[in-house]
Structure 1
Amino acid sequence: MRLDKYLCESSDLTRSQARSVLLSGDVTVNGEIMKRGTHEVREGDEVQWEGETLCLIGLRYLMLNKPAGHECSNRNSQHPPVIDLLDVEKRDRLQTVGRLDVDTTGLILVTDDGKWMHRIISPRNRCEKVYLVTLSDPLPENVESLVATDTGLDDEAQRGLCASLVRVGDRSIRLTIQEGKDFHIKRKFESIGVPVLALHCERIGPVALDADLQPGESRYLTATEVAGLAHSSDEAGTDD
């Protein structure tokens, strides 16, 4: 990797700022002052800026307990982006893996690994998502068949919406979906006359939201969780 890019990847420096600190002679590679941004940094090289050793941030994978009132977007909006809740370096590089509506709460994955993200959100992979759905009125006796009925959604959204439905209470269910999105869930229940009051994402693939992770809090995924999410997506995609 070029030295100027290494400086940007391992610090808050912009490309122009990296060129300036290089020219000032404040950067060393293996103890030698290096002013050329084109210098190739190799594995095992020690890069220091003003005497402090720099390390590449690397790819990151996090779970975040999304509170209501935040958007899964980095674009300007009337609502704050969920990325702003993260206390990490270079958070502008991070993206949510899929999106939850502004009033939907619960598990959202965050990463700067585009390939990993695509494997999870690609419709062909059908990575399962589990939602706790709280409704405005008591559940109809035939709610299972109503949800399975091809009404309120287009064919593609309907096919991916319901993998399983479990009654939790007289006004709540646990719904497992594959290709659908949270607004599809709301639209479906509105179409059968039982509007959704609250929607909470509990699980994506094999990874469930930590019970002790408070709204707005996050943690890094373990290596097992990262691999498990990618693996479960690959397995789902082999059913075609």
Structure 2
Amino acid sequence: MRLDKFLAHHLGISRNLVSKELKAANVTVDDVIIKSGSFQINEHQVVKYQDNIIEQIHRKRYFMLNKPQGYVCSTDDPDYPTILYFIDEPMAEKLHAAGRLDLDTTGLVLLTDDGQWSHRITSPKHHCQKVYLVTLEQPLVTDLIGVFEKGIELRGEKALTKPALLEIIDEYHARLTISEGRYHQVKRMFAAVGNHVTALHRQQIGIINLDVDEGEYRALTQQEIDSIYERLS
């Protein structure tokens, strides 16, 4: 991690002020004066400001983001902009998506630096429910409700999908609740029954419901954070 980013976060000051403090020889790393903001530090080194140790203790962070189309759910990508473009937080690159969305899929993305928490969302054994709003190319028929409830055989896979709840909103729109996260699962489920998804939006994960505008984000409440453990035990 860059020293200037670390100092800006832990001291709560701007990068410009950090630069001045470095030039004034007020910062040491392992008791060596460092004046370069680009100096790389690790979690085992001792950083001091005016001879006071800055503790490298990071409180876990949890956010929801309403992802627009055209962004990938990774921290770095050579071809497309990433969802970190929307996150104005110190050390945003330390965050990861707890369940990714495709480039053209919109809606709820949960970001955190808590690997154990995100595993509770993404691991199939915890059966975390995700709710999607789906727009289809062909009209929907009510018979599909039973088909989705029984499970669908996806192309290239032998095991049926877990039972899914399909709610038909109108001819071309549905709400689908699934409890697993196979590769492109929602699109492949509808493809398996002869239909094509033209738009896909994730609205909910567990009890966490998307409530911010597109391109906006917010910190999760403690109740929302705890719900991942309480409801997925």
Same fold (TM over 0.5): yes
1:168 aligns with 2:169: yes
SS in 1 for 2:133: strand
SS in 1 for 2:231: helix
1:26 aligns with 2:26: yes
SS in 2 for 1:10: helix
Q: How many residues align?
A: 210
1:223 counterpart residue number: 222
Structure 1 residue 9: Cα displacement? 7.1
SS in 2 for 1:143: helix
Structure 2: give runs of 5+ residues left out of the alignment.
1-5, 13-17, 33-43
Within 2, Cα distance between the matches of 1:99 and 1:92?
A: 16
Backbone CA RMSD of aligned residues: 3.6
Which amino acid in 2 is paired with 1:183?
Answer: H
Residues 167, 173 of structure 1: 8 Å contact kept: yes
Within 2, Cα distance between the matches of 1:126 and 1:70?
A: 26
1:112-171 Cα shifts (integer Å, max 9, x gaps): 111111122111111110111111121023112333353334244x333x4311111111
Which amino acid in 1 is paired with 2:105?
Answer: T
1:82 counterpart residue number: 83
Structure 1 residue 182: Cα displacement? 6.6
2:41 counterpart residue number: none
Which amino acid in 2 is paired with 1:223?
Answer: Q
Q: 1:56 to 1:49 in 2, by over 3 A?
A: farther
Q: Paired residue for 1:150, among 143, 149, 152? A: 152
Within 2, Cα distance between the matches of 1:82 and 1:181?
A: 21
1:187 counterpart residue number: 188
SS in 2 for 1:226: helix
SS in 2 for 1:168: strand
Matches within 5 A, 1:18-97: 25-27=25-27, 36=31, 48=49, 57-97=58-98
2:141 counterpart residue number: 140
1:30 counterpart residue number: none
Which amino acid in 2 is paired with 1:80?
Answer: P
Misfit runs of 4+, over 6 Å: 21-24, 37-41
Q: 1:208 to 1:23 in 2, by over 3 A?
A: same
Residues 120, 230 of structure 1: 8 Å contact kept: no
2:202 counterpart residue number: 201
Structure 1: give runs of 5+ residues left out of the alignment.
1-5, 13-17, 28-32, 42-46, 236-240
TM-score after normalising by structure 1: 0.74
SS in 1 for 2:161: helix
Structure 1 residue 8: Cα displacement? 8.9
SS in 2 for 1:62: strand
Which amino acid in 1 is paired with 2:85?
Answer: D
Which amino acid in 2 is paired with 1:36?
Answer: D
Residues 153, 161 of structure 2: 8 Å contact kept: no
Within 2, Cα distance between the matches of 1:34 and 1:188?
A: 54
Within 1, Cα distance between the matches of 2:231 and 2:206?
A: 6
SS in 1 for 2:93: helix
Which amino acid in 2 is paired with 1:73?
Answer: S
More helix, by proportion: 1
Q: 1:49 to 1:81 in 2, by over 3 A?
A: farther
Within 1, Cα distance between the matches of 2:50 and 2:184?
A: 48
Within 2, Cα distance between the matches of 1:34 and 1:73?
A: 31
Report percent identity of matched pairs. 35
